[in-house]
Chain A
Amino acid sequence: MASVILRNLTKSFDGAARPALRELSLEVRDGEFLVLLGPSGCGKTTALRCIAGLDEATEGEIHIGERDVTRLPPAARDVAMVFQNYALYPHLTVRENIAFALEVRRVPRKEILRRVSEAAQRLGLAELLERRPAQLSGGQRQRVALGRAIVRAPQAFLFDEPLSNLEAPLRSELRSEILKLHRALGATMIYVTHDQVEAMTMGQRIALLYEGRLRQLGTPAEVYARPADVFVARFVGSPGMNVLHGRGRAVEEGGSVVECGSLTVPVPLEHYEGEIELGVRPEHVTLGATEKGVGNAEILIVEPHGAETLVHLDAGGQTLVARLPGLLELRVGDRVGVKLDKRHFHFFDASGARLA
């Protein structure tokens, strides 16, 4: 097991206009479960492939454990990767699939047998060893892929959206299985996903990537509670944070107000003047009678979820979402008063960076 350290990793593909990764610096601790999270096309796969050595870094360094592996071929890096589409060898049986890496590395027969059956035991594949990938269900296939990875006992595991081809129930089952593996092996794992539920529930820390840049690195709680910028704020949480665009204005009695659309929000900022982004999570928005609260808004959409109801509002051109407990009787088109919980405000400057 080993730590994985990226230093100023930049990757430009030949012929691409923008680099897929820009100066990515990241330290994954020994034995950590780190989730790489970001929207589609942000460079998650590219980062993983660079770590694995499948793509060559244009600039920067990659260290695994004590070694600088930047210029080493994939085989010499001693990492295992699990792919979204499983990438099982279709012409080999499950047993041969799992044994392939050991065979290529000329591990003695007996040793191979022992390690394959051990991996199969651990993943509940013992019955399936003689089948071919085509005769397996999606979940079983991904288990085989996991087996192929753990049988090598690599320095680090890389997962590239391993569950996104699976149905929801299977997904949560495999999620806990991967976490169990992580605990049992104590291995360093880097897990790529664009699904934030996965990220929040699995990651010890989350690295948020956007347009090839690292936006925030922290525990799920940190990322949720103190998003580093507007992008992170909007991306994390479902639905994401409401970010209202407005102008700050100092008022006589101290503090400031932010005017955004039809809302005028008093904020605990000293004499703020100018453009500002005001963030507030949907659960911190409540509705009341008109003229109560910070302003009025029109109801656009009502999404009853059972335990809660999501209400999409239009406040003078600014849309925001409120998450309200229980099933509510609300009519689209009605005007309501909006209340915001000022203890949970987030402020970002015009460029999107967090204020204070």
Chain B
Amino acid sequence: MRTVPRWRAAALLAAAASALLALAVARWAAVRYEAAFARRSAATTAAYLALVTPPAPLGADYSLQQLFIQTRSLDALPGWTPSVEVYHGTAPLLQPGAPPLSRLVLDRLRGQSGASWGRGVALAPLFDRDRWEVVGAVAIRPAGIAPGWLGGWTLPALALFAAAALGALRAVGGEWERVRRALRAYGAAGVLFGAAAYANVQQAARASTDQWLADARLLMQESSARLPQGRPTLADLAPLAGGAQVAPGDSATTRPTRQSVGGVPSAVVEVRLSSRRWVELRTAPAEAGAPPWLALLLALALIGPLAAWVAVWVEREAARPQRLRETAAAWWFLAPATLHLAVFSFAPILLAVYASVHRWSLVEPERPFVGLANFAQLVRDPVVWISLRNTALYTLTVPVTMVVALGAALALGRRSWAARLVRTAVFLPFASSVVAVALVWQWMYHTDFGAINWMLSLAGVGPVDWLGNPNTALIALMIVSLWVQAGYQMTVFLAGLQAIPRDYLDAARVDGAGAWRRFRTITLPLLKPVTLFVFVTGIISSFQVFTYVYVLTGGGPGHATDVVAHQLYQAAWTFLQFGSASALSLLLFVVLFGATWAQLRLLERRVTYD
């Protein structure tokens, strides 16, 4: 086939693009972390200088000489890595020969609160003692945060990737088993390569947090050495900490560590201010936000193998253009549904998993990783257990409704107009508005003026506070559910009964079997798949009951009618805790998995037997 070289060339190009893109993105991400470190570090250094530099005799500006001394001494700090330059106004202090800062840049620094980044240098404004006027700038050029383009394991992984790519492309058009093996190796190499590239990003993220913590620690300790006794106070140190927390601490490690603080993973370092004064510096670890890069890098690294796979496939199919055409047509037809399912069904599942291990609220911008804390909190919450128990109790309506519905189906299966009328009536509740039904039942359940209590009073039973009494509220809801679902289930059963060949029943009748016997030995066994279907779908839908609870009781009284769906709704839209709502969703998924699995098997059977 003439098309082979073309596809092979395309796949080769894709491999190169895949590798380059992954490397570039990894590098870019690492540099972003480096920049984040430098910006933070510049701001901290500026705050440090503002704290320790004595003022000039007049005004709030600093003494130029002092500023120079303080800056010079930074380089002498043991463990200090970045290279610093301080501008007073626009003039560089340490290297007087260096070009001055442009006014424009300084003006721009005035307009913003944080530090800026450009050309490998972070610039933070240096405020005067009153923290009012910008009198200069601190420039930080970071070193050693981001690994190089091919640092870490990237180079060997890249070599492996390239070798696998060439191997796969050489195999194209050859023996199928070999091609498959080569493709698989290529895919594995892609994953490895993506992971290696990600390792660099992760390392840069970690290093940016650690390096800043270390530098901030140094500066805090240094400031405490330079300031008179009793200072710096925690308030003095706050500007140095930037967005991080400063808390009283105790002596522990002096290297940055990762700890869980109140369920939130944090990066922590202990700062010794004097022999008995320790503070703890805490910040969100940057690497907690890194995993999305993994997804991106893996996707990029897999472009190559994917392209090779397509090339192999097209090459194989080139001999069958008809099939190729049909496949292309099929994908056009499938595109709308597939894209929609990807975005609105599959992505949400992944997102639910992701959100469930984060503290995720719509109002807070921070979404820290919290591990299984959301789940732990759910399991410890008694209300969750109560709602689970209520939901389980509520599903007891399913078998009861089924008995009623099956009875109705058996009685109303006839072709007479009367039977049809009754069937229509029984189906009415299911065919009408859910909230309207809930409202009329609430009205009928009314303690003093409701129709139900009035009827009961005719029988001499005293007024029951149906929805207000914790003992009856759930039962009241279940009655509504039965009333609505009976019509639906009856219809399914009727269809199932109609599918039973009459001959079987007639044969049994000829054999002298009575009605009950016919039902037991013929109807019921043949109805089993339908019964199973009704049961399983009934369980699944009643586990998700929400509207009746929301309208009729709001989960009350107490938590007597609180169900899982209501809990979930409250967690997300009352308390805005989307992380824990996601965790609850997943919990529900797990609880229901058996039922849904059974449902899928039923469907599958219908798919394969048709």
Contact = CB atoms under 8 A, between A and B. Distances in A.
Interface of A: 53, 56, 71, 73
Nearest to A74: B322
B323 interface: yes
B303 to A, nearest CB: 30
Contacts of B323: 56
Interface of B: 320-323, 325
A71 B321 CA distance: 6
8 contacts: A53-B322, A56-B320, A56-B322, A56-B323, A71-B321, A71-B322, A73-B322, A73-B325
Given A56-B322, A71-B321, A73-B322, 5 more contacts: A53-B322, A56-B320, A56-B323, A71-B322, A73-B325
Contacts of B321: 71
Nearest to B323: A56
Contacts of A53: 322
Nearest to B320: A56
A73 B320 CA distance: 11
Nearest to B318: A71
Residue among B320, B321, B322, B323 with the highest chain A CB neighbour number at 10 A = B322
A53 B322 CA distance: 9
B552 to A, nearest CB: 48
A71 B318 CA distance: 10
A71 B317 CA distance: 12
A71 B322 CA distance: 7
A53 B321 CA distance: 11
Contacts of B325: 73
Nearest to B325: A73
B332 to A, nearest CB: 16
Nearest to A55: B322
A71 B1 CA distance: 13
B318 to A, nearest CB: 10
Contacts of A56: 320, 322-323
Nearest to A59: B319
Contacts of B320: 56
B328 to A, nearest CB: 12
Q: 8 tightest CB-CB pairs across the interface, nearest first?
A: A56-B322, A71-B321, A56-B320, A56-B323, A73-B322, A73-B325, A53-B322, A71-B322
Contacts of A71: 321-322
A14 B260 CA distance: 58
A56 B321 CA distance: 9
A56 B327 CA distance: 14
Nearest to B321: A71
B141 to A, nearest CB: 64
A104 to B, nearest CB: 16
Nearest to B319: A71
A26 to B, nearest CB: 21
Question: Among the interface residues B321, B323, B325, which one has the most CB atoms of the partner chain A within 10 A?
Answer: B321
Contacts of B322: 53, 56, 71, 73
B243 to A, nearest CB: 62
B317 to A, nearest CB: 10
Contacts of A73: 322, 325
A49 to B, nearest CB: 12
A71 B323 CA distance: 10
A61 to B, nearest CB: 13
B412 to A, nearest CB: 33
A20 to B, nearest CB: 16
A138 B322 CA distance: 33
A73 B321 CA distance: 8
Nearest to A71: B321
A56 B322 CA distance: 7
A275 to B, nearest CB: 44
B445 to A, nearest CB: 52
A73 B323 CA distance: 10
A126 to B, nearest CB: 38
B456 to A, nearest CB: 58
A56 B318 CA distance: 12
